[in-house]
Chain A
Amino acid sequence: DTGVSQDPRHKITKRGQNVTFRCDPISEHNRLYWYRQTLGQGPEFLTYFQNEAQLEKSRLLSDRFSAERPKGSFSTLEIQRTEQGDSAMYLCASSSDGGPVKAFFGQGTRLTVV
């Protein structure tokens, strides 16, 4: 068990470009979450998967954002037509069924839009 893995760790992109991030959860965890953290703030929920089903999306997730989790394993988060306001740390977390929740976080992908 190597924990939650995210790739890349850092991404610099020009405004208007598309970017895609990957998250590999802990293997036996069926729940997967994406959060966004901006400077000086706590992480904010973006979206949630249970296995391959995307069960909830935050209002923060505009139409330019899309997330997938094919086969209930790894997940990708794509941002189309990036804007400077998208610059943030994107965090992935996973957890197992049953409560109470104890989520394990990856180290995050830091996105800088220039």
Chain B
Amino acid sequence: GNSVTQMEGPVTLSEEAFLTINCTYTATGYPSLFWYVQYPGEGLQLLLKATKADDKGSNKGFEATYRKETTSFHLEKGSVQVSDSAVYFCALSPLSGANSKLTFGKGITLSVRP
């Protein structure tokens, strides 16, 4: 079956530090890959996505590249802000089939210090 593995957390960084959150996946075929973010007290929001190998998703300074050869979709940001403090979830969805349900990783909490 499909699965998503995220690095263990939590992660604490100082403002303007470089961020990398690792995500690897196991899936049949060629899934779409996503990063979702959950800010304190809010619902899950789509941060970025990539639908095929070598695609780069980007949004709000965050980037992730779909690496089929390493089955990875690591999230990066060059300079984090306090407002980036949130829980980040990596997820995948199969492209084909009537049900494109999402399979999520466990999530990782990011705290950014001023």
| Interface positions of A (Cβ within 8 A of B) | 4, 31, 33, 35, 40-45, 48, 50, 55-56, 91, 93, 95, 99-108
**A100 CB contact (under 8 Å) in B4, B44, B51, B107:** B51
Chain B: residues with Cβ within 8 Å of the partner, total of: 25
Query: A100 to chain B: which residues have CB within 8 Å?
Result: 32, 49, 51, 93, 95, 100
Kindly supply a per-residue 1/0 record for chain B positions 32-56, scoring 1 wherever the CB is within 8 Å of any chain A CB and 0 otherwise. Answer: 1000100000111110010100000
CA distance A105 to B89 in the complex (A): 13
- How many residue pairs between the two chains, A and B, have CB atoms under 8 Å in the bound complex? 65
**A42 CB contact (under 8 Å) in B96, B99, B101, B106:** B106
Residue from B44, B45, B93 whose CB has the most chain A CB atoms within 10 Å: B44
Query: A107 to chain B: which residues have CB within 8 Å?
Result: 42-43
Shortest distance in angstroms between B96's beta carbon and chain A's nearest beta carbon? 8
Q: Check A99/B104 contact, CB under 8 A, given A43-B44, A107-B42.
A: no
Query: B104 to chain A: which residues have CB within 8 Å?
Result: 42-44
Query: A55 to chain B: which residues have CB within 8 Å?
Result: 98-99
Query: A41 to chain B: which residues have CB within 8 Å?
Result: 106-107
CA distance A41 to B6 in the complex (A): 11
Kindly supply a per-residue 1/0 record for chain B positions 62-78, scoring 1 wherever the CB is within 8 Å of any chain A CB and 0 otherwise. Answer: 00000000000000000
CA distance A99 to B11 in the complex (A): 33
Q: Check A42/B91 contact, CB under 8 A, given A48-B101, A105-B44.
A: yes
Shortest distance in angstroms between A44's beta carbon and chain B's nearest beta carbon? 7
B43 and A106 contact, CB distance less than 8 A:
yes
B44 and A56 contact, CB distance less than 8 A:
no
A99 and B100 contact, CB distance less than 8 A:
yes
Among residues 78 to 107 in chain B, which have CB atoms less than 8 Å away from a CB atom of chain A? 89, 91, 93, 95-96, 98-107
Query: A43 to chain B: which residues have CB within 8 Å?
Result: 44, 89, 102, 104
A105 and B98 contact, CB distance less than 8 A:
no
